[in-house]
């Protein structure tokens, strides 16, 4: 199945997974940018943003668990997020953490929060439609994901 066929499959978990990849890039970039704001609250939330980028990276690209040396506890933590509902919950929590940055002042972290909640909505829609989680072959899904789980 090619990338175009994956998008035409109308499986919301594919949309969620690719939006999650976009979230990795945004969270990393916006977290680094928040560090240079020289505001303590934004620096702390920026560090959470950077950490969440790495968690999302391991959740959305399952092949990395096979090739990167990680601890068994970390592997067990990442394996919790194999269903659409668990991924939707994870993205909702990560988004809520970034929305807290509004309490201090408006910053670029809001863009990350918006994309994280969009990803959560995609996974929730996949859960509501009772669609099985389907990992993209491009990101190491299908055969590789089954070896890990």
Q: Distance between CA atoms of 94 and 97, rounded to whole angstroms? A: 5
d(CA 66, CA 62): 8
Largest CA distance in the chain: 47
Q: What mean pLDDT, rounded, does the chain reach? A: 84
Tokens of 56: 């999302």
CA–CA dist 45, 6 (Å, integer): 34
Residue 69 sits at φ, ψ, to 5 deg, of: -75, 110
Kindly report, residue by residue over 7-58, the tens digit of the pLDDT: 566 788 888 888 999 999 999 999 999 999 888 989 999 999 999 999 999 8
């Amino acid at each position: 199945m090619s990338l175009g066929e994956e998008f035409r499959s109308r499986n919301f978990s594919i949309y969620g997974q690719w939006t999650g990849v976009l979230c990795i890039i945004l969270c990393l970039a916006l977290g680094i940018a928040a560090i240079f704001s020289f505001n303590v609250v934004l620096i702390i939330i920026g560090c959470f943003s950077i950490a969440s980028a790495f968690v999302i990276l391991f959740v959305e690209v399952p092949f990395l668990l096979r090739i990167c040396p990680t601890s068994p506890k970390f592997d067990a933590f990442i394996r919790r997020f194999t269903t659409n509902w668990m991924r939707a919950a994870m993205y909702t929590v990560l988004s809520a953490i970034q929305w807290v940055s509004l309490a201090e002042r408006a910053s670029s972290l809001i863009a990350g929060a918006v994309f994280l909640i969009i990803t959560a909505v995609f996974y929730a829609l996949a859960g509501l439609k009772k669609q099985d989680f389907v990992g993209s072959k491009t990101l190491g899904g299908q055969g590789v994901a089954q070896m890990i789980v």
